[in-house]
């Protein structure tokens, strides 16, 4: 895999709000990317939580962390105030326009996924407006989304995602700390 720290997400600022916009070029049609973004069987490979509830605009949902995500990050989750015995956060689906727009609030974060057809593949734009910083700060959250999206690409390309390399995450956190400030 190439050095992922070279293609960081674009830092966004709107008053006091900070976010990032990530872009990934995918060799898969929008319908396949949509399923990977929205279906539990696919989310498990790249996203730390399942979406529990009806998938439609305006629906109240819950984000329940996968057991393996809790095992990997139990100390960080506990430090962030998440009950590791019942690891759920509230959410709401804001936009549901298959297979092109998926927007939701996850606790106090706001995420927008845009899928743009490109030839036989797709371009994925993911915009994240950060909420309350976690234990690793905003740079840690930015690095976390970066890694999740890389795992999404790997999952789409190979059918599963690999083990997260902690040194790679630390390098990304450092790079995001430099650009976010």
What was the pLDDT predicted at 2?
Answer: 44
- Residue 4 above 90 pLDDT? no
Tokens of 41: 């069987």
Identity of the highest mean pLDDT range in 59-73, 98-112, 123-137 = 98-112
Domain ranges of the chain: 4-47+97-180
Give tens-digit pLDDT for 117-166. 999 999 999 999 999 888 888 999 999 999 999 999 999 999 877 777 88
Cβ count near 158 (within 10 Å): 10
What was the pLDDT predicted at 95?
Answer: 98
Tokens of 125: 């734009």
- Residue 59 above 70 pLDDT? yes
What was the pLDDT predicted at 75?
Answer: 72
What was the pLDDT predicted at 26?
Answer: 96
Give tens-digit pLDDT for 30-48. 999 999 999 999 999 999 9
What was the pLDDT predicted at 89?
Answer: 92
- Residue 6 above 70 pLDDT? no
User: In the chain, what percentage of residues exceed pLDDT 70?
Assistant: 96
Q: Which residues contact 29 (CB under 8 A, 6 or more apart)?
A: 117, 120, 121, 122
SS3 for the chain is CCCHHHCCCEEEEECCEEEEEEEEEECCCHHHHHHHHHCHHHHCCCCCEEEECCCCCCCEEEEEECHHHHHHHHHHHHHCCCCCCCCEEEEEEEEEECCCEEEEEECCEEEEEEEEEECCEEEEEEEEECCCCCCCHHHHHHHHHHHHHHHHHHHHHHCCCCCCCHHHHHHHHHHHHHHHC
CA–chain centroid gap for 88, Å, is 16
Superfamily of segment(s) 4-47+97-180 = START domain (3.30.530.20)
């Amino acid at each position: 895999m190439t050095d992922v720290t070279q293609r960081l997400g674009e830092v966004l600022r709107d008053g006091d709000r900070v976010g990032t916009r990530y872009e990934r070029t995918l060799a898969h049609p929008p319908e396949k990317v949509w399923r990977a973004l929205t279906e539990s069987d696919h989310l498990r490979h790249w996203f730390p939580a399942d979406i529990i509830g009806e998938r439609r605009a305006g629906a109240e949902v819950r984000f329940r962390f996968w057991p393996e995500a809790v095992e990997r990050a139990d100390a960080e989750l506990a430090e962030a105030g998440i009950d590791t015995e019942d690891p759920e956060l509230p959410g709401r689906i804001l936009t549901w326009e298959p297979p092109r727009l998926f927007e939701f609030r996850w606790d106090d974060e706001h995420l927008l996924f845009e899928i743009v057809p490109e030839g036989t593949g797709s371009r994925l734009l993911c915009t994240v407006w950060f909420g309350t910083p976690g234990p690793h700060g905003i740079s840690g959250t930015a690095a976390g989304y970066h890694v999740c999206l890389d795992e999404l690409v790997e999952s789409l390309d190979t059918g599963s995602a690999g083990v997260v390399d902690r040194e790679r995450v630390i390098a990304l956190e450092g790079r995001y700390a430099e650009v976010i400030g």
